[in-house]
Amino acid sequence: MLSNSELIIMLNQSATDREKLAKFLNISDIEKVYITNVDSGEGLIRVRNSLIPFKNKFPKDTELYKLMTTKLEEQNYE
Domain range summary for the chain, segments of one domain joined by +? 2-74
Nearest to 13 by CA among 36, 29, 34, 32: 36
> Is the pLDDT confidence value at 76 over 70?
no
pTM attached to this predicted model: 0.77
**Distant-in-sequence, close-in-space partners of 42: CB < 8 Å, separation ≥ 6:** 11, 12, 34, 54, 55, 56
In tens, the pLDDT along 13-65 reads 999 999 999 999 999 999 999 999 999 889 999 999 899 999 988 898 888 88
pLDDT at 77: 61
